Amino acid sequence: MEEMPIKMEHLLHELSVLSLAGGHGEAAGFSLTNYTFWLIAAVILVLAFFIAGSRNVKLVPSGIGNLAEAGVDFVRNSVCIDVIGPEGKKYFPFLGTIFFFILINNLLGNIPPALPGTGTVGTTFTWAIIVFLVYNGIGIKKLGFFKYIKSLVPSGTPWWLAWLLFLIELISHMLRPFTLGIRLFANMYAGHVMLGVFAAFAAIFIEHLSPASIAVVPLSVIMQIALRVFELMVAVLQAYIFTILTAVYIGGALEAGSH
Amino acid sequence: MELIIPNTTEMWVNIVAFLILFVVLAKFAFPPITKMLDERADKIRESLEKAEDTRVEAERLLEEYKVQMAEARAEATQVIEQGRKVAESMKAEILAKAREEAEAEKVKAIEAIKAEKSAAMAEIKGEVADLSVAVAGKILGSSLTKADHAALIDKYLAEVGSLNEN
């Protein structure tokens, strides 16, 4: 068991941001990292899938066109229209990009030895910041800058309360990109840590065969399988949550003026 | 803590990834798909509406045919009824005419018989008169006066007439 800390350190090192050109963290400079390598693979997959899918749409759907349509239909109806309303259709390209990017990254990360492109804050914060800029941009475009800022506080609030409310609202808005980014990152990262832990258990108990191995090894393998299935669910769920929250933020920005 | 400090390279890669994905998907990949989804939805809606219209039309036609059928049947019954009436009236007419003709025939025959009879009577009367005069002349051997003749004739005639009546 004394190997466990070493294995854990090794695992966490593998899951940290590593430059493919060598070096660690910021020192990596402008070279691809282990995460961005798989991220680019996922982006290529998304593009290939949708370009192939969009060339294959027929009135009677079939094959890859059908799959692409099902995905598009899901995001457009269950996210855009259900959350934002009929005008949500307009924001489908943005929300669809987010959803399919995150979904394919999450799923790809589930196939060893790939890592999820979304398993690093470099990705999740960037996308969360893009969401923050876009939804506020939508609100500002609709109401104008000052009116949009004013709309953070419900009209008719007494001035001494208005300031307090404004501050709370401002903080809550500022926190949104962090919560969005951390939620996705933590889910993907933690999933891989869990998988790594059980893999390490199995490895150690196979290397040092002991009576305990009889119980621990099969259990670890079963946990691996169960966690893989669980991770598939998490992959889809997190993509959905990120997208639906984005839709909620956009819907909120659009509704801001109507109070 | 290093875990939640984003790597700037990764951020740049993500910004580029977002831009490429968004532009390609929004410009080239999504529009054909959403267009097809909308088209299909329209097509299905249209087809359903059309089917509904067709159904309504079919029902209307069926109703119309039913009415026409009923009308035709009623008309046919009427025609048959009328035909029968005509036939009956024709029958009655023919019968009446036949009866009338028969009646006329009969009357004519009776007339003819009567005429024959009176002619025969007149002839017999003449014959009897002549005969009786001749007989009387022979019996009496004398000639009778005209007045005697007439009286005798009447007497015989009366006798003959009463015989005839029996």
Amino acid letter for position B27: K
Give per-residue pLDDT as tens, A49-78.
Answer: 998 888 877 777 778 888 888 999 999 999
Segments forming the whole domain that contains residue A130: 4-8+33-258
Of A19, A26, A54, Cβ closest to residue B28: A54
CA A180 vs CA A86, A126, A185, B19, B58: distances in Å:
25, 10, 9, 19, 58
Q: What is the pLDDT of residue A107?
A: 94
Residue A46 lies in a domain: yes
A175 lies in a domain?
Answer: yes
Residue identified by tokens 């992959």 is A235
Is residue B28 a contact partner of residue A51, using CB atoms and an 8 Å limit?
Answer: yes
Helix/strand/coil percent split, chain B, to 5: 95, 0, 5
**Least CA distance to B13: which residue of chain A?**
A36
Whether A123 sits inside 8 A of B10 (CB atoms) is yes
B141 touching chain A per CB within 8 A: no
> Does A198 fall in a domain?
yes
Asked whether B79 and A95 are in contact (CB, 8 A), the reply is no
A24 three-state secondary structure: strand
Q: What does the domain layout of chain B look like in residue ranges?
A: 2-165
Nearest to B9 among A29, A97, A100 (CB): A29
User: Does any CB of chain A come closer than 8 Å to the CB of residue B34?
Assistant: yes
- Please tell me which residue of chain B has the smallest CA distance to A181: B4
Tell me if A15 is assigned to some domain.
no
Is the pLDDT at B29 greater than 80, yes or no? yes
Residue type for position A3: E
A13 domain residue, yes or no? no
A101 vs A201: which has the higher pLDDT: A101
For residue A38, give every residue at least 6 positions away whose Cβ sits within 8 Å of its Cβ, in sequence order, or none. Answer: A105, A108, A109, A114, A115, A116, A117
Query: Which whole number is the average pLDDT over A153-169?
Result: 84
pLDDT attached to residue B164: 60
* Residue that is written with structure tokens 């006798």 in the block: B159
What digits encode the pLDDT tens for the residues A18-53? 777 665 545 545 677 888 889 999 999 999 999 888
* DSSP state letters, B39-91: HHHHHHHHHHHHHHHHHHHHHHHHHHHHHHHHHHHHHHHHHHHHHHHHHHHHH
Q: How many domains does the structure of chain A reveal?
A: 1
**B56-61 mean pLDDT:** 95
Instruction: Give me chain A's average pLDDT, please.
Output: 87
**What is residue A259's predicted lDDT score, i.e. its pLDDT?**
53
Q: What is the pLDDT of residue A147?
A: 87
Torsion angle, alpha carbons of A222, A227, A232, A233, to 10: 110
Within-domain flag for A158: yes
pLDDT digits (tens, 9 = 90+) for A204-254: 888 888 888 888 888 988 988 999 999 999 999 999 999 999 999 999 988
pLDDT above 60 for B98: yes
- Check CB contact of A140 with chain B, cutoff 8 Å: no
Considering the domain boundaries, does residue A116 fall inside one? yes
